Amino acid sequence: MARTTKALTTTRTAPERLGVRKTYKLYVGGKFPRSESGRTYEVTDAKGRFLANVAQGSRKDAREAVVAARAAQATWAGATAYNRGQVLYRVAEMLEGRREQFVAEVAAGEGLPVRQAELAVSEAIDRWVWYAGWTDKVAQVAGSANPVAGPYFNLSSPEPTGVVVVLAPQRSSLLGLVSTIVPPLVTGNSVIVVASERRPIPAVTLSEVLATSDVPGGVVNVLTGFTKELAPPLASHLDVNAIDLAGAVGAEGVTWGEVEAAAADSVKRVLRPAPGRRGEDAEPDWTEAPRPQRILAFTETKTVWHPKGV
């Protein structure tokens, strides 16, 4: 009898659940592969407590990402500007749905109080919406009908550069990330983003959002790992057309000057980091109002002549 009673009591208390731990992976070509190298590294919160093991991407992962980005670029650029706007807006809707998760991750990673983390997440989502609105307006603002001597229409319009590598800001893990990856997407570039090396988790979560959104696989590829390892091969890769150096500021073991030099051989478009308030090598204040210039940094101007039918 006594034995039965004991059994009943143990079933009554709720059993302790086994933790369901997450394996953080890369996001390449619409899939979530582990790093080819099989390596991971530890990510800690702002106070140095363990947060997660994150994939440590290698230069071969970078190469695969370029192949995926190149394959996806034509389709994304070929979609109508209006459609790109809708697709990007839907991503913002989905970010809103994951708001609490992002707030928790930003608060842990950047060491912000919850109130401030909420502000940063709201700002990031609003910025996404702001850029989404630019897709079908950028050609009208940046394009022009040029006066020429002769009976011709002469029209210039911005076209996407192609495959763009974005070194995401090291400190601002979500707002900075959004501020750098969305501008090249607006005009139809595909993007390979090297996430902040110490604060990569919002970028991984963003890749999960993108995987279930209508953004075609390969248009955004997220690599986690060390900027000093990933940036040089991407900068020298002949099939990459442009690179945003924002995340070379504050990365360990690499300067943006070195990355820019590696990009020179293939005459890539290079967007240098904007100087921060506290000098050349500090990160800019990403809460400042965005400007369309960041979109235009990754465009090429195409000019066509067309005879005026008289």
Q: Which residues bind other proteins (CB under 8 A)?
A: 63, 66, 70, 233, 236-240, 265-266
Closer CB to other proteins, residue 62 or residue 108? 62
d(CA 246, CA 230): 14
Closer CB to other proteins, residue 66 or residue 125? 66
Closer CB to other proteins, residue 106 or residue 234? 234
CA distances from 15 to 9, 19, 20, 94 (A): 12, 12, 15, 34
The three state secondary structure string of 9-77 is HHHHCCCCCCCCCCCCCCEECCECCCCCCCCEEEEECCCCCEEEEEECCCHHHHHHHHHHHHHHHHHHH
Shortest Cβ distance from residue 261 to other proteins (Å)?
Answer: 13
- The tokens 């501008």 sit on which residue? 183
Closer CB to other proteins, residue 63 or residue 272? 63
Counts of helices then strands in the chain (DSSP H, E): 11, 10
**Which 8-state DSSP code applies to residue 172?**
-
Shortest Cβ distance from residue 236 to other proteins (Å)?
Answer: 5
Shortest Cβ distance from residue 70 to other proteins (Å)?
Answer: 7
Shortest Cβ distance from residue 192 to other proteins (Å)?
Answer: 12
**Which 8-state DSSP code applies to residue 248?**
G
CB 54 within 8 A of CB 35: no
Residue 259 in tokens? 């990355």
The residues, any chain, with a CB within 8 Å of residue 261's CB and separated by 6 or more, are none
Sheet holding 152-160, edge to edge: 144-145, 152-160, 299-307
Shortest Cβ distance from residue 266 to other proteins (Å)?
Answer: 8
Shortest Cβ distance from residue 133 to other proteins (Å)?
Answer: 33
For the chain, the first-to-last Cα distance in angstroms comes to 106
101-277-109 Cα angle (round to 5):
20
Shortest Cβ distance from residue 241 to other proteins (Å)?
Answer: 9
CB 251 within 8 A of CB 227: yes
Closer CB to other proteins, residue 39 or residue 70? 70
Closest Cα to residue 186, out of 75, 84, 290?
Answer: 84
Closer CB to other proteins, residue 140 or residue 266? 266
Closer CB to other proteins, residue 63 or residue 99? 63
Closer CB to other proteins, residue 265 or residue 288? 265
Shortest Cβ distance from residue 258 to other proteins (Å)?
Answer: 15
Closer CB to other proteins, residue 252 or residue 265? 265
Shortest Cβ distance from residue 184 to other proteins (Å)?
Answer: 18
